Amino acid sequence: MKLFERAARVIPAGIYGHSSPALTVAGEFPYFASKAEGCRYVDVDGREYIDYMCAYGPIVLGYKHPEVEAAAQRQRRDGDCFNHPTYLMVELAERLVELVDFADWAVFGKNGSDMTTWATQVAREFTKRKKILKVRGAYHGWHAWCTIGHGGLMEEDRAHVHDFLWNDLDDFHRQIKKYRNQIAAIVMTPFHHPAFGDSVLPNSGFFKEIEITCRREGIVFILDDVRAGFRLHLGGSHRFFGFEPDVICFSKALGNGYPISAALGRKELEIAASRVFLTGSFWNNAVPMAVALACLQVLEREKSIAHMQRMGELLMGGLHELADKHGIPVRCSGPPSLPFLTFAEETNFYRSQRFAAECVKRGIFFHPHHNWFLCAAHQPKDVQETLQKADAAFEVIKETFKM
C-alpha cells in the first residue's frame, strides 16, 4: 500500500488501465509485481501466486520461458532498436502468413489497439466507406472509437461506429440494412468476453452468416484475435470456430510477454494496407520479433494449445466439482484455455469478488470480473494445488453467504 500511495502522488489513478486496483478487489488483491517464473509470480510484498491471468494474456508459454529468453538474449547482443527493421521482420511475416490460411501479408505494431485501429483504417481505405460495426460491449482497445472509458471523448469519435448484439443475427442484419453500402468493416472477437459478464461462445452458424454477409455486402471482416489468439488454434481462432475473416489482429500471446502485435490480411487488401500509414518509435524492434518466432516454434512443437485446453478442462471441471460439493451453484464459461467462473443466481458479483479475494489470500490469482488465461506452464500439480486452495475459498463463500 505504501508503494501505491507513492504511485498515487505522481501517477494519475496510481495504477491505470486494466491493472487498476479499482477493477479487482481493492485492498485485497496485489497491486505490484516483482518477479515471475513459469505459471507463478511474486508480488512486491513477496507473496507468491499461481497465476490464471498470465499478465492478462501475453504469457502463453510461461514467465521466463528459457527458449524465449534465449532468443531475446541472442538478438539483444546484436541490438534491438535500429534505423531499419531487421531480417526478422521478414521472417516473422513469412511465418505468420504460412500459419494463417487466408493471409497473404503481415504488418507489426506493439499493442492490440495499434492493429485493430489500423485494420479499420485499411477497411475504410479499401471500401471508401466510413462505418464500423462491432458487437456491443466488446473490447477492441483503448483508442477513441472503441475505448470502454468515458473521458476525453467527442461525439464525433463514435459517429460512424455502430453496435449489434452478440449472437443476434437479426440485430446484425438490421444494422446491415440500416447502413447498407456505408459499412467499411465489421470487427469481432472470436467469442464474446465482456468484463463483468460470462463469456459467450458463438452460436452455430453465427460467424458463417456474418462471413457470407460481408462477402455479399463488400464489407471487410476483421477478426480481433488479440486476446484469444494462439490459445485456441495456432492458425488463428477462426480455424477453431470454422469461418474465415479478411483481416486478423494478434498481440498478447504472440510475444510471450514481449511487446509485439500483428495484423494479417488477404491479398485484395494489400494495396489499401500499403496506403495506410503505420509506425511507432519502437515498432521495428528486433527483440520482440525474435521472441515471436521462438514463441510460435515452441507453441507448435510442444502442442501447447492442446495442453492449455487440457489444463483448462482440469481446472474448470475441478472447480465445478468443488462448487457442487459445497452446494454452491456456479457457471463456467468460455473455452477451456480462456475460462471464466461466475456464481449462478447472482449478477452483482459479490460472491465472485469474495471468492477471488479468498483465493488471492491463499496464493491463487483469479480475477473476479475478467476471463482467465491458462498458459503452457500450468501443470496438473499446479491445478491440483489450485483446487485444494479453492476448496477452502468455497467454504468461506458458503459461510459468508449462508448457502
Partner 1 sequence: MQVKSGVKNRLHAKIRAHLYLRAILTGMEDLASYSQEARDLTRGWHFALKIGVIGGPSTTLVFDDGMIRRSVGPKKRPFGMKLNVRYATYNQFNRFFEGKIFFPPLFTGNLLHLFKLKKIGKLAALLTHYLKPEAAALEDRAFLRRHAQMTLHALIRSTVIVSGLDPIAQAALDHFPEGLAVFGIEGQEGVVWVRSLKGQLLEGFGQTPSALPDVRVIFSKPEIVCALASQKLDTQAAIGKGLLRIEGFAPLADSIGLVMERVGEYL
Asked if residue 31 binds partner 1 (CB under 8 A), the reply is yes
Per-residue contact string for residues 186-225; x = within reach of partner 1 by CB under 8 A: ---------xx-----------------------------
Four-CA torsion 204, 207, 102, 98, nearest 10 degrees: -60
The nearest distance, CB 25 to partner 1, in angstroms, is 8
Give the whole-angstrom CA distance, residue 26 versus residue 31.
Answer: 9
Looking at the Cβ atoms of 63 and 366, the one nearer to partner 1 is 366
Cell of residue 355, nine digits? 471468492
DSSP string, 276-334: S----TTTT-HHHHHHHHHHHHHHHHTTHHHHHHHHHHHHHHHHHHHHHHHT--EEEES
Looking at the Cβ atoms of 27 and 205, the one nearer to partner 1 is 27
What is the biggest distance separating any 2 CA atoms in the chain, rounded to whole angstroms? 64
Name the residue type at position 256: N
Per-residue contact string for residues 98-137; x = within reach of partner 1 by CB under 8 A: --------------------------------------x-
Asked if 249 contacts 262 with a C-beta cutoff of 8 angstroms, the reply is yes
Q: Quick one: which of 64, 143, 239, 369 contacts partner 1 (CB under 8 A)?
A: 369
Looking at the Cβ atoms of 20 and 73, the one nearer to partner 1 is 20
Binders of partner 1 in range 152-171 (CB under 8 A): 155
Binders of partner 1 in range 327-356 (CB under 8 A): 347-350, 353
The nearest distance, CB 324 to partner 1, in angstroms, is 24
Q: How many CB atoms lie within 10 A of CB 46?
A: 8
Asked if residue 317 binds partner 1 (CB under 8 A), the reply is no
Q: Which stretch binds partner 1 (CB under 8 A): 15-23, 42-50, 324-332, 358-366?
A: 15-23
- Cβ neighbours of residue 94 closer than 8 Å, sequence gap 6 or more: none
DSSP state of 131: E
Asked if 321 contacts 210 with a C-beta cutoff of 8 angstroms, the reply is no
The nearest distance, CB 155 to partner 1, in angstroms, is 6
The nearest distance, CB 131 to partner 1, in angstroms, is 18
Asked if 188 contacts 223 with a C-beta cutoff of 8 angstroms, the reply is yes
Looking at the Cβ atoms of 151 and 327, the one nearer to partner 1 is 151
Asked if 38 contacts 311 with a C-beta cutoff of 8 angstroms, the reply is no
What residue ranges bind partner 1 (CB under 8 A)? 1, 4-5, 8, 12-16, 20-23, 26-27, 31, 136, 150, 155, 195-196, 347-350, 353, 369
